A and B are shown apart, each in its own frame.
Chain A
């Protein structure tokens, strides 16, 4: 499936900023087993004084840009064409929770994909006893890690209500979990906490969903903004498997990957520091349209 993606994020400042430096993490992954970036460009307005493009530790595309003069806002536009393949079925992997410590102790590498990066607390995902208890109550010793991923994702989907108004980007996961509502970011962080609470390496995936479903299928939650889901390491044979708890389904041809990290803080679409007094307002618009033919 080939998609054309258009994303515009703009920021309006109440008072002009006298300088700013930003990192954008928006360009879809270019070389991935299930995805290929055919073309992609990031346009920034006004034209920044400095701009560099590079990749980060996890292999995500990063654009660093900065402004020196006064400016009253910025707009970042992504246009990309991506081919998304049907994910290959994961190889069967009998690894169970009890086998995990041994399996992990045999890993001697710090490469970006090493599950060891995704085991312990990360800035947005502190260990949360209630979430771990929720997860523990739902696993049985005979489950494989891949089973657990499905089970926890499904259980969380049933436990939580999607509500775009209920939380903000900074709501702590314990709060969202207790209130049982949130957006894809909350769903994903809570699921990561649940999996890590069990000792399963889990990470965060940011990306896009196709805007309109194929004929006869329901529209996916989270399609009108950037989306997020979860990946978990399901054993040495199965490796990483991705799951979307907001929609209770494995990541498939409707999911386009932008970046992977330990949690949101590793893959923030646009972050930055400004010299400014007063607040700012931000808007986001996304279109993910399948290319005909």
Chain B
């Protein structure tokens, strides 16, 4: 009762000014124009805020998403550029009683799809009895012949699936598409939830919104139980950083504590899947597959796949790995299948579909073709075997009777010619949901992606999901192709909801989880990240030294020497901010992007920030002192990043590789520089340049003399074991880190590598300032670089 009193007059305004579209169902407003009760709390909360306060709250969500680096890559955008996550803070809200009905319908569909796919790879009753045209399967690229006759080890083909659903004009829900092969979006749903809960921080905490963690916990538990080898860890199989949802895969891998694995991280040995790690092959027998089935084994599936693992199909056939989901379930995404599912539901379960799918007609049948022809103005017509809606694939299609994606404009000739390859689908109209725009709520069409996970207790439906929201007020399903935004989905209860987190429950005894062995590819990327970051820094130092001497005529012979030195690193000193330096940083960012799941959010943000600054600065820099100054700015940023890594990175194998990479690069570059400047034939000024690049001017003054000598420079930058800029210092670091890595594995290639490192360190340390001449330095430079190859041979099996 007291609540009502608190409602301010503006309340009604936000709601009263909301105008749903005529004849279109709306999520906020029911058919009678009244507010749906599930929304009351949020609308009251928002109405109590000023426009400025709303803007401030919403900015929190955007800031969070920007900070965490959420993006998705848009394939339609040919540049492949990642774009920001278009988050709409106002969630879609549904009451849990309605959600319960939706869930029951989706579970029925999930069970049906399981039966269908088991039949398609099993006894083929549906085809034999004429419930499904054989040609739709026989010619379907998603029907994987190597899977015919294979029963999944777990007993099920489907374990985690998504459905795209929408509310039609009659207020009922429809299934718009089945996402069975490698459904994306569960991680985005989580990220949206985090962002929405930040936007509505105080409000959200006290709502009865069902939390998502319980769903993920059950799914993870279910995956754990699918393991047979107790030594096996859980992995997510990713198509890699170039896929549009890589960020999400890395995110959910971190959230669930699973290892993110690319095809090349895996190998198959005697029919068992193994992870290539720095400690050798590690077993794995459950893979949550985010890679499309057809790409996952170049030997037996698509031979042009660069992403897959040769032999994976063989491991599946031998029942040694559970794929979540099984290979071959992509066939369920076939658009034409929707034409037959309503009937198949009756045949297999004796019941109609509780939630219908989009009305679909396969044009390979005379009656259906005639119908599609006659009703083309109310339909979307596209490829029968596509696994996406036609406007998502770029294939020739027709919408409302108008041909698109082709020069061919004759719809009827096309229908006659291609009939058995086409389906017609009713142009579905969608409901609208409010988005906040310029101080008001406006209705926008939406579809919702729901997720189901199989658990030992049966299918569980995520209480939420993620909503896609159209950019304009066109409510046909196709309006979604124009982008728009995404929103969180709140399922609210009348009662307080249970609080669950992914953290272990108190009832289970504390147990420290051992970090799993580091995959070799991750180690390799961390190693190169270390090298490239260091190279960026060292090149910046050298280019800075060059630019600060640019106006001294007497320095020309020295400048020519630096130019030559820089050229060997593909850096052109004539450019005020050489692109070669930027390339080194770009390579660092690339290496980091390959291992987003192992990289802290802050670390990634710092790295991206550095790249952004460098690109900005580089355009404006002018040769000489100005360039030297901006190099100093960049060097401070790199120092910040290094500090972040040093302070925050857990001292596991990953850190060791990063550190080895840095030290190796620094030792190599310093050896190279010393060899050049201490050459008796080198121009004057080189020794001073070296202690400047080596950041050791002060120390040199304290320990030696004001004037540099060949001996003092060799001692300080070469042999000094306490100077973090000296070669010796970094050979020590490498030796220590390698000893740590090899501690548990003192045999084979590793022992050879360990010995090689020790020998190199000891021979270098045995030098005196007199014996370490240019020739000896050049020799050591090569040996240090050779360590990179040897490290690869030792750890990257």
- Residue numbers of A with Cβ under 8 A of B are 19, 21, 23, 50, 52, 56-58, 64, 66, 68, 104-105, 107-110, 114, 116-117, 119-120, 123, 265, 271-273
Instruction: Looking at the assembled complex, report how far the CB atom of A169 sits from the nearest CB atom of chain B, in whole angstroms.
Output: 12
Residues of A within 8 A of B303 (CB): 123, 265, 271
Instruction: Looking at the assembled complex, report how far the CB atom of A278 sits from the nearest CB atom of chain B, in whole angstroms.
Output: 16
Are A273 and B270 in contact (CB-based, < 8 A)?
no
Instruction: Looking at the assembled complex, report how far the CB atom of A59 sits from the nearest CB atom of chain B, in whole angstroms.
Output: 11
Say if the beta carbon of B138 comes within 8 Å of chain A.
Answer: yes
Q: How far is the CA of A101 from the CA of B139 in the complex (A)?
A: 15
User: Which of A23, A109, A273 has the most chain B CB atoms closer than 10 A to its own CB?
Assistant: A273
- Interface contacts beyond A56-B146, A109-B127: sample of 8 additional A-B pairs, CB < 8 Å, sorted by A: A21-B310, A68-B269, A108-B128, A108-B130, A110-B127, A114-B138, A119-B135, A123-B302
Q: How far is the CA of A116 from the CA of B298 in the complex (A)?
A: 25
Residues of B within 8 A of A110 (CB): 124, 127, 134, 137-138, 148
Closest A residue by C-beta to B129: A108
- Chain A to chain B contacts (Cβ below 8 Å), 14 pairs: A23-B299, A50-B271, A57-B145, A57-B148, A105-B133, A108-B129, A109-B128, A109-B134, A110-B127, A110-B137, A116-B138, A116-B139, A117-B138, A123-B303
Say if the beta carbon of B721 comes within 8 Å of chain A.
Answer: no
Are B127 and A66 in contact (CB-based, < 8 A)?
no
Given A117-B138, A273-B310, verify A109-B124 contact (CB < 8 Å): yes
Q: How far is the CA of A31 from the CA of B300 in the complex (A)?
A: 24
Q: How far is the CA of A265 from the CA of B139 in the complex (A)?
A: 16
Instruction: Looking at the assembled complex, report how far the CB atom of A266 sits from the nearest CB atom of chain B, in whole angstroms.
Output: 8
Closest B residue by C-beta to A20: B310
Given A265-B303, A273-B299, verify A120-B128 contact (CB < 8 Å): no
Are A21 and B311 in contact (CB-based, < 8 A)?
yes
Instruction: Looking at the assembled complex, report how far the CB atom of A49 sits from the nearest CB atom of chain B, in whole angstroms.
Output: 8
Residues of B within 8 A of A116 (CB): 134-135, 138-139
Interface residues in B384-415 by Cβ distance below 8 A to A read none
Say if the beta carbon of B525 comes within 8 Å of chain A.
Answer: no
Say if the beta carbon of B268 comes within 8 Å of chain A.
Answer: yes
Are B300 and A23 in contact (CB-based, < 8 A)?
yes
Top 10 A-B residue pairs of the complex, sorted by shortest distance between their CB atoms = A116-B138, A57-B145, A273-B310, A120-B139, A21-B310, A117-B138, A116-B135, A116-B134, A21-B311, A110-B124
Instruction: Looking at the assembled complex, report how far the CB atom of B36 sits from the nearest CB atom of chain A, in whole angstroms.
Output: 48
Residues of B within 8 A of A272 (CB): 299, 310
Residues of A within 8 A of B148 (CB): 57, 110
Closest A residue by C-beta to B797: A18
Q: How far is the CA of A271 from the CA of B303 in the complex (A)?
A: 9
Say if the beta carbon of B447 comes within 8 Å of chain A.
Answer: no
Are B130 and A271 in contact (CB-based, < 8 A)?
no
Q: How far is the CA of A52 from the CA of B318 in the complex (A)?
A: 11
Residues of A within 8 A of B270 (CB): 50
Instruction: Looking at the assembled complex, report how far the CB atom of B697 sits from the nearest CB atom of chain A, in whole angstroms.
Output: 44
Say if the beta carbon of B314 comes within 8 Å of chain A.
Answer: yes
Instruction: Looking at the assembled complex, report how far the CB atom of B710 sits from the nearest CB atom of chain A, in whole angstroms.
Output: 41
Q: How far is the CA of A272 from the CA of B298 in the complex (A)?
A: 9
Residues of B within 8 A of A271 (CB): 299, 303
Q: How far is the CA of A271 from the CA of B135 in the complex (A)?
A: 29
Given A104-B135, A114-B138, verify A21-B146 contact (CB < 8 Å): no
Instruction: Looking at the assembled complex, report how far the CB atom of B130 sits from the nearest CB atom of chain A, in whole angstroms.
Output: 6
Given A21-B299, A109-B124, A273-B298, verify A119-B310 contact (CB < 8 Å): no
Given A21-B299, A120-B139, A273-B298, verify A64-B314 contact (CB < 8 Å): yes
Q: How far is the CA of A110 from the CA of B133 in the complex (A)?
A: 10
Residues of A within 8 A of B139 (CB): 116-117, 119-120
User: Of the candidates A19, A23, A107, which one forms a contact with B134 in the assembled complex, judged by CB atoms under 8 Å apart?
Assistant: A107
Interface residues in B281-340 by Cβ distance below 8 A to A read 298-300, 302-303, 310-311, 314
Q: How far is the CA of A68 from the CA of B124 in the complex (A)?
A: 39
What band does the interface of chain B fall in when counting residues whose beta carbon is under 8 Å from A?
20 to 34
Closest A residue by C-beta to B144: A57
Instruction: Looking at the assembled complex, report how far the CB atom of A173 sits from the nearest CB atom of chain B, in whole angstroms.
Output: 16
SS class, residues of chain A in contact with chain B: mixed
Are A56 and B311 in contact (CB-based, < 8 A)?
no
Instruction: Looking at the assembled complex, report how far the CB atom of B387 sits from the nearest CB atom of chain A, in whole angstroms.
Output: 16
Closest B residue by C-beta to A117: B138
Are B127 and A108 in contact (CB-based, < 8 A)?
yes
Instruction: Looking at the assembled complex, report how far the CB atom of B336 sits from the nearest CB atom of chain A, in whole angstroms.
Output: 13
Residues of A within 8 A of B271 (CB): 50, 52
Q: How far is the CA of A110 from the CA of B145 in the complex (A)?
A: 10
Are A57 and B146 in contact (CB-based, < 8 A)?
yes
Q: How far is the CA of A272 from the CA of B303 in the complex (A)?
A: 9
Residues of A within 8 A of B269 (CB): 50, 68
Closest B residue by C-beta to A199: B420
Q: How far is the CA of A116 from the CA of B129 in the complex (A)?
A: 16
Instruction: Looking at the assembled complex, report how far the CB atom of B794 sits from the nearest CB atom of chain A, in whole angstroms.
Output: 13
Residues of B within 8 A of A107 (CB): 134
Q: How far is the CA of A52 from the CA of B299 in the complex (A)?
A: 15
Instruction: Looking at the assembled complex, report how far the CB atom of A124 sits from the nearest CB atom of chain B, in whole angstroms.
Output: 10
Q: How far is the CA of A101 from the CA of B129 in the complex (A)?
A: 19
Instruction: Looking at the assembled complex, report how far the CB atom of A210 sits from the nearest CB atom of chain B, in whole angstroms.
Output: 31
User: Which of A19, A56, A64, A109 has the most chain B CB atoms closer than 10 A to its own CB?
Assistant: A64
Are A108 and B311 in contact (CB-based, < 8 A)?
no
Closest A residue by C-beta to B133: A105
Instruction: Looking at the assembled complex, report how far the CB atom of A267 sits from the nearest CB atom of chain B, in whole angstroms.
Output: 13
Residues of A within 8 A of B300 (CB): 23
Residues of A within 8 A of B267 (CB): 19
Instruction: Looking at the assembled complex, report how far the CB atom of A123 sits from the nearest CB atom of chain B, in whole angstroms.
Output: 8
Q: How far is the CA of A137 from the CA of B428 in the complex (A)?
A: 44
Q: How far is the CA of A265 from the CA of B141 in the complex (A)?
A: 14
Residues of B within 8 A of A120 (CB): 139
Instruction: Looking at the assembled complex, report how far the CB atom of A154 sits from the nearest CB atom of chain B, in whole angstroms.
Output: 28
Q: How far is the CA of A120 from the CA of B383 in the complex (A)?
A: 14
Instruction: Looking at the assembled complex, report how far the CB atom of B791 sits from the nearest CB atom of chain A, in whole angstroms.
Output: 16
User: Which of B137, B269, B310 has the most chain A CB atoms closer than 10 A to its own CB?
Assistant: B310
Residues of B within 8 A of A119 (CB): 135, 138-139
Instruction: Looking at the assembled complex, report how far the CB atom of B400 sits from the nearest CB atom of chain A, in whole angstroms.
Output: 28
Are B145 and A66 in contact (CB-based, < 8 A)?
no
Given A21-B310, A57-B145, A57-B146, verify A108-B299 contact (CB < 8 Å): no
- Chain B positions 104 through 131: 1 when the CB is less than 8 Å from some CB of chain A, otherwise 0: 0000000000000000000010011110
Closest B residue by C-beta to A18: B797
Instruction: Looking at the assembled complex, report how far the CB atom of A58 sits from the nearest CB atom of chain B, in whole angstroms.
Output: 8
Instruction: Looking at the assembled complex, report how far the CB atom of B273 sits from the nearest CB atom of chain A, in whole angstroms.
Output: 13
Closest B residue by C-beta to A58: B145
Instruction: Looking at the assembled complex, report how far the CB atom of A25 sits from the nearest CB atom of chain B, in whole angstroms.
Output: 12
Q: How far is the CA of A32 from the CA of B267 in the complex (A)?
A: 36
Q: How far is the CA of A117 from the CA of B148 in the complex (A)?
A: 14
Instruction: Looking at the assembled complex, report how far the CB atom of B117 sits from the nearest CB atom of chain A, in whole angstroms.
Output: 14
Residues of B within 8 A of A64 (CB): 311, 314
Residues of B within 8 A of A21 (CB): 268, 299, 310-311
- Chain B positions 270 through 281: 1 when the CB is less than 8 Å from some CB of chain A, otherwise 0: 110000000000
Q: How far is the CA of A64 from the CA of B311 in the complex (A)?
A: 9
